[in-house]
Each structure stands twice: as structure tokens, then as C-alpha cells.
Amino acid sequence: MEFTFFLDQDIKLPLYIQLYEHIKTEIQLGRIKEGEKLPSIRNLAQVLQVSKQTIETAYQQLIAEGYVQSRPRSGIIVLPVEEKEPNLVRFSAVFASAPAEERNVLYDFKYGDIDVDLFPMKIWRQCINTALDGPARDILLYGPYQGNADLRDEIRKYVFRARGISCSAEQIFLFGGTQQSVSFLSRLLHLQDGNVAMENPGYEGVRSVFLHYNCNIIPISLEKDGICIDELQKIRAKAVYVTPSHQFPLGMVLPIGKRLQLLQWACDTSSFILEDDYDSEFRYIGKPIPSLKSLDKEERVVYCGTFSKCFLPAARISYVILPLSLVEQGKQHINHCSQAASPILQKALSIFMKEGYFERHIRRMKTLYQHKHKVLLQSIEQFMGDHVNVIGQRAGLHILLHIKNGDAAHLIKKAEEHGIQVYSPARHWLHQEEAPSAFVMLGFGGLSQENIREGIRLLALIWNFLEV
Ligand SMILES: Cc1ncc(COP(=O)(O)O)c(C=O)c1O
């Protein structure tokens, strides 16, 4: 078959998509007929002066969509044109129809995105309206330093039911996100210039706050079941920051035995444990494990919660539950900072919680994320098979892929060139150069099930994990 076709190197559409689109159109228009054989990958690469990979990826896409078939010893043969699976065809349509400046992102596996399609916008709007109908002084001014009292009381009830924490609303302090919560705690606990232990890898967003306060970060290694207690016992630190419900970013859940050892360490050394329970709502395998705070008889745990995963990142509302012994000091400290979370949104959220919408929303989202998570794991197994291991699959809105034979940085770049964004978790290691080179981080909260599957299939194609 003669094949003359102009690949435009200057437009953002990747070459393999241009080629794929061209062949598909030719087949649909009947100019390439059923039973005809496509040129071999090597030949076409020579003719078009592109890499064999470009041709191969275009062919793989055509095979996957049923336009052609790879037959042993015969080559790649054109099949009869018939109704195609709509979601597969969408892939190219979405890409081609996007504005040029956005064309380079087809599927974004960004960690931090949540599903916004199921967000109960109508109810939330009603809650905001109800909040706005309240006394003007309560919502239109700065609001109490510690945060809206109604919301703190709703949080008290919620953490008791969902996380087994008994506390009073007086112990709860509201902030505008986890970094602000930790910034407050750094001042309250006088962490400046002192030793602070952290899981390594651990959440960079929090580490950067400690570094801002010139803390000396002591990295504590992770074992298969979470933070290494032996290492912790060998050091002295004013505080340790941990993510026991779902270690960030490796995803393990800290077992009860280690939780008790951690609490014992804090008692023995008079240190505080900063428990970040950022996504505890979304747990898919195994029984719920109580929060560390709920086991904290000696009041060594400071609990950090956020509404970013279970509600909306845009709300910018987080909270800290202080041990009783720190509440008075906390109040004095907080009087030096104005409340960052909007009083209007705080009030609206308290109504949303009081009316039972919050827990209903969490239940719906949990089911939805469970489905997405299942599709993600199934797609990885189907399309990537033995090429990868999945890490941290018990909970949360992200997983890590361990690529068995491959350099993650190279694969991430290659994916990006083909319009798929996946991420390196390396910045969560204290020393980035020590991060394993084989990890890729995939957030799935913001993608539909269909897009998760399609994105994984394309990644497998791009990374050569699928056989033609
Ligand atoms: C470990 C961890 N803690 C907390 C958060 C939430 O931060 P924020 O409350 O600032 O949205 C995240 C979000 O990415 C996280 O990964």
C-alpha cells in the first residue's frame, strides 16, 4: 500500500494521533479497504521519517478500536467498518476538539482532584443561602478566631461517630487548610529550630511548613506496615508528624500494634504526635481502624483533619483537635491570627453537616471512589499486567505504580508527550535523589471510570506494555 501523508511537526497534536486519525478517516471513507494490509511499522517509519514507536502506537490504537487486526504472518489487516465502541472513539475526538493550548492533556491523573460531578450543588447552594439569611454579624465580619462555634460542634459530633474521638468543641480550632493548621501547631508547640520527626517519604506540603520554621527534620524510614518505631525510639524530637490511616504517599495503614508503640514513644519522650487523617473516609479494604487520637489516653496526639478530600478542596477548611492541656495556650496563640476560612462557608458547612448532608455525601463518594478504584486496579492488571506492581491500594484517592523495568522519569515524560499526565512522588522524599526511580503516582479522584480505564490503556500502549 502506498502511503503519502503529511505529519505536521508544528501542531501540538502528537504525531501518532495525527497518523491514527488519518488512517481511521481513510478506512471510514473506504479509501483503505477491508482486507488491505497496512505498511509494516519499519517501512512506514522510514517513509514518514518518524520513529517506529509513533507508528506502533498509532497502529495499536487502531487495533484497539477494531479498525485493523494484527494477524500472525500476514501483518496488520483492515477490518470491515462497523459501529465502534463510543468511549474508544472519544479518545481522539476529545483530543482533537480541545483548544490548542489544552491539547497536551487528555487524561490527568492528578493527585488532589476530587470528583465534582456528584457534588450536591443544589443542596450546597441552599446551605449557603440559609447561612446568608442568618444574623449579618455572624457571617459578614471576620468571625471568631477559633472558627465558627456551630461548625466546631458539628465536627465534634462527626469525629466521635466516624473516628472514635471524644472531645469538646473547645478543643477544635479551624484553619484554612492543613498547612495553616501545621503552621499554627509549629508555633504552639514551639517547634521552631527544634527536632521534628517525619515519615520519609512524607507529605511535602507539611514538611515545607516545618522547614519554614527552621525545624530540623529527622526522617524516619517506612517499613511494610508504616513508620519504623525502632528508628523513632533512637531519636529525640519535640513532635512526630504521621499519616497513620493512609500513609502519604506510600499508602500503608498503620496497624494497631504500631499505633500503641507510637503512643508509648510519645509518652516516654514527652513528645507530641501530629496525626494527619487527611483521607480516612475512603478506605476500601479491611475494617476501619480507629484514629490514633481515639487511642490517646495520655493526651499526646494532636489531630489534624481537612475537608479537602471528603468535601471540597475549594472550601479551604481544616481543623485541629488539641489535647485539653493545650487548649488555653491554643486560644492565646490563635488570638494573634485572623481566621482564614470564610465565616460564610464555615456557617454553610455547619448547616450541611447538621442536616445530615455531609455524611450522606461521604457515603455516596465512598461508593463512587470504590468503583473508580476498582476500575483503576482492574485496568492496570488487564493492560499493564506483570510490568508493574501497585502500591498503597487499600485506601485513599491515589496509588503508586512500581514499574518493574523502567525509569519512571522517562515514562512520565513519554506519557506527557502523548497527552497523559502522571506524576513522580519524588518530592515527598526528604532528599529527592534518594527516591526510587521506579515510582509513578496516579491520582484517580477527578477522572471518570471510563477515563481511568482509557487513560491506563493508553499509558500501557505508550509505555510498550501491550503487545501488538
Ligand atoms: C497528607 C496530606 N495531608 C493533607 C492534605 C490536604 O491539605 P489541605 O487541607 O491543605 O487541602 C493533603 C492533600 O493533598 C495530603 O496529601
> Are both 51 and 145 inside the same structural domain?
no
CA-CA-CA-CA torsion sign (116, 117, 119, 125): positive
Angle at 411 (CA atoms; ends 406, 416), nearest 5 degrees: 175
Ligand 1 atom, smallest distance to 203 CA: 1
> Are both 436 and 289 inside the same structural domain?
no
pLDDT value of position 74: 87
In a domain, 122, yes or no: no
Measured from the CB, is residue 180 less than 6 Å from ligand 1?
no
> Are both 216 and 317 inside the same structural domain?
yes
Q: How many domains does the chain have?
A: 3
pLDDT value of position 57: 86
**Domain with 47 in it: what CATH number?**
1.10.10.10
pLDDT value of position 250: 96
- Comparing 66-80, 82-96, 418-432, 440-454, the range with the smallest average pLDDT is 82-96
Query: How close is the Cα of 278 to the center of ligand 1, in Å?
Result: 6
Average pLDDT for 414-443: 94
> Are both 190 and 90 inside the same structural domain?
no
Average pLDDT for 219-232: 97
Angle at 389 (CA atoms; ends 283, 64), nearest 5 degrees: 100
Measured from the CB, is residue 306 less than 6 Å from ligand 1?
yes
Q: Whose CA is nearest to atom 13 of ligand 1?
A: 112
Whether 366 and 281 have beta carbons less than 8 Å apart is answered as: yes
Query: How close is the Cα of 308 to the center of ligand 1, in Å?
Result: 7
> Are both 386 and 346 inside the same structural domain?
no
Query: Between 42 and 350, where is the model more confident?
Result: 350
Of 102, 122, 145, which residue sits at a domain end? 102
pLDDT value of position 104: 63
| Predicted structure pTM score | 0.80
pLDDT value of position 88: 39
> Are both 305 and 369 inside the same structural domain?
no
pLDDT value of position 21: 81
> Are both 451 and 367 inside the same structural domain?
yes
Highest average pLDDT, of 18-32, 287-301, 349-363, comes from 349-363
> Are both 163 and 300 inside the same structural domain?
yes
The answer, yes or no, to whether residue 97 has pLDDT greater than 60, is no
The answer, yes or no, to whether residue 11 has pLDDT greater than 70, is no
> Are both 186 and 334 inside the same structural domain?
yes
- pLDDT tens digits, one per residue of 276-323: 999 989 988 877 778 999 999 999 999 999 999 999 999 999 999 999
In a domain, 187, yes or no: yes
In a domain, 188, yes or no: yes
Whether 233 and 271 have beta carbons less than 8 Å apart is answered as: no
Of 354, 379, 408, which residue sits at a domain end? 354
Q: Which of 113, 208, 247, 306 to mutate to test the pocket of ligand 1 (most atoms within 8 A of CB)?
A: 306
Which of left, alpha, beta for 296 (phi over 0: left; psi -120 to 50: alpha)?
beta
pLDDT value of position 329: 97
Ligand 1 atom, smallest distance to 179 CA: 10
> Are both 349 and 445 inside the same structural domain?
no
47 falls in which pLDDT band (50, 70, 90)?
A: confident
> Are both 345 and 371 inside the same structural domain?
no
- If you ran DSSP here, which 8-state letter would residue 307 be given? S
Query: How close is the Cα of 11 to the center of ligand 1, in Å?
Result: 37
Angle at 82 (CA atoms; ends 56, 35), nearest 5 degrees: 55
pLDDT value of position 101: 54
Q: Are strands 318-321 and 301-306 parallel, antiparallel or unpaired?
A: antiparallel
- pLDDT tens digits, one per residue of 311-331: 999 999 999 999 999 999 999
Q: In terms of residue numbers, what domain contains 398? A: 360-462
- pLDDT tens digits, one per residue of 129-185: 999 999 999 899 999 999 999 999 999 999 999 999 999 999 999 999 999 999 999
In a domain, 31, yes or no: yes
Cα–Cα distance for residue pair 380/375, rounded to 1 Å: 8
91 falls in which pLDDT band (50, 70, 90)?
A: very low
pLDDT value of position 103: 52
Cα–Cα distance for residue pair 339/79, rounded to 1 Å: 64
**Average pLDDT of the residues of the chain:** 90
Burial of residue 287 (CB within 10 Å: 0-12, 13-18, 19+) is: exposed
The answer, yes or no, to whether residue 440 has pLDDT greater than 50, is yes
Whether 408 and 440 have beta carbons less than 8 Å apart is answered as: yes
In a domain, 128, yes or no: no
Ligand 1 atom, smallest distance to 111 CA: 14
Q: Whose CA is nearest to atom 14 of ligand 1?
A: 112
> Are both 232 and 325 inside the same structural domain?
yes
